[in-house]
């Protein structure tokens, strides 16, 4: 049992997606009893067992569906092959609860200027695991950010190049320059993130897009880009712009906004 809970802790630490299946009740002859647990990873691999065979195969399928939809489910199986749709003859019935293991959504902000200083605490307050990447350590040490966790002083382009794609990660580009945004976006635009947003005028965004396409970046990748970033609420101040960005990210998080390629 210690190994099982250690595995759950490792999954959370690594930010991996998985589902937990628990036998909640049984009737008659079944391969495992109430309380038996199994972890199903996003790739279909498992840790623990519910008894193998057709039952376990079906639970894996149900778990992967639960991961896609993000909702827990309670499902029952008849283990009498003459009555149910499983090729098993245990004869009993089993009820299994399947719950996706939700990982905290991550927000990575490139640049630590005025908008980031307003946006970072706002996004932390709504449950995002925050990382701010900035190559000027003095900026990270300023009052608004100094006490936050997840501050990284590093070359932003290098960090973006190493960043692995994650479907629960949101990216915001708020750097101080055109060339920096272009270099970072070149490393990120083809990766599978939940959200990639970049600040800037439509001219800037159009120019970056044209330059990256000329370098071989697939044109369709830019359909994933939210730019100009933020909902159009007429924002002007850093605080207002931060609010518009937060609103757009939350709308994506809740499945209410799929509008991409604004630039």
10 Å CB burial of residue 241 (0-12, 13-18, 19+) is: buried
Of 101, 121, 137, the last residue of a domain is 101
Please indicate, yes or no, whether residues 171 and 184 belong to a single structural domain of this protein: yes
Please indicate, yes or no, whether residues 119 and 241 belong to a single structural domain of this protein: yes
Tell me which residue range forms the domain holding 140: 106-253
- Token pair for 234: 């007429």
Average pLDDT over residues 176-203: 92
Domain membership of residue 80 (yes or no) is yes
Domain membership of residue 75 (yes or no) is yes
Sign of CA dihedral 182, 160, 162, 259: negative
Of 64, 83, 101, the last residue of a domain is 101
Please indicate, yes or no, whether residues 162 and 237 belong to a single structural domain of this protein: yes
Residue of 15, 17, 36 whose CA lies nearest to 25: 36
Cβ pair 152, 131 in contact under 8 A: yes
- What pLDDT score was predicted for residue 238? 94
- Token pair for 115: 């908008």
Average pLDDT over residues 238-246: 96
- Measured N-to-C along each axis, helices 114-125 and 238-253 cross at an angle, to the nearest 10 degrees, of 40
- What pLDDT score was predicted for residue 258? 53
What does pLDDT average to over the chain? Answer: 86
Domain membership of residue 15 (yes or no) is yes
- Whether the pLDDT of residue 27 is over 90: the answer is no
List the CATH number of the domain containing 178: 3.40.50.720
> What are 114-141's pLDDT values in tens digits?
999 999 999 999 989 999 999 888 777 6
Of 83, 101, 119, the last residue of a domain is 101
pTM over 0.85: no
The tally of domains found in the chain comes to 2
């Amino acid at each position: 049992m210690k190994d099982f809970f250690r595995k759950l802790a490792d999954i959370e630490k690594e930010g991996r997606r998985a589902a937990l299946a628990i036998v909640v009740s049984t009737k008659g002859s079944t391969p495992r009893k109430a309380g038996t647990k199994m972890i199903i990873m996003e790739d279909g691999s498992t840790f623990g067992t519910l008894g193998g065979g057709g039952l376990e195969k079906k639970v894996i399928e149900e778990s992967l569906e639960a991961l896609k939809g993000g909702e827990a489910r309670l499902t029952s199986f008849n283990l009498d092959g003459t009555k149910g749709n499983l090729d098993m003859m245990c004869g009993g019935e089993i009820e299994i609860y399947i719950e996706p293991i939700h990982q905290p959504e991550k927000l990575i902000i490139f640049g630590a200027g005025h908008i980031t200083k307003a946006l970072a605490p706002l996004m932390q307050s709504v449950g995002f695991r925050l990382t701010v990447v900035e190559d000027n350590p003095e900026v990270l040490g300023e009052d608004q950010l100094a006490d936050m966790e997840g501050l990284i002083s590093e070359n932003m382009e290098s960090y973006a190049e190493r960043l692995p794609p994650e479907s629960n990660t949101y990216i915001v580009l708020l750097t101080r320059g055109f060339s920096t945004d272009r270099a970072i976006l070149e490393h990120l635009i083809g990766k599978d993130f939940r959200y990639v947003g970049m600040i800037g005028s439509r001219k800037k965004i159009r120019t970056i897009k044209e330059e990256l396409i000329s370098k071989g970046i697939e044109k369709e990748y830019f359909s994933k880009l939210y730019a100009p970033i933020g909902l159009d609420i007429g924002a002007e101040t850093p605080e207002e712009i931060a609010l518009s960005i937060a609103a757009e990210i939350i709308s994506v998080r809740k499945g209410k906004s799929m509008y991409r390629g604004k630039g």
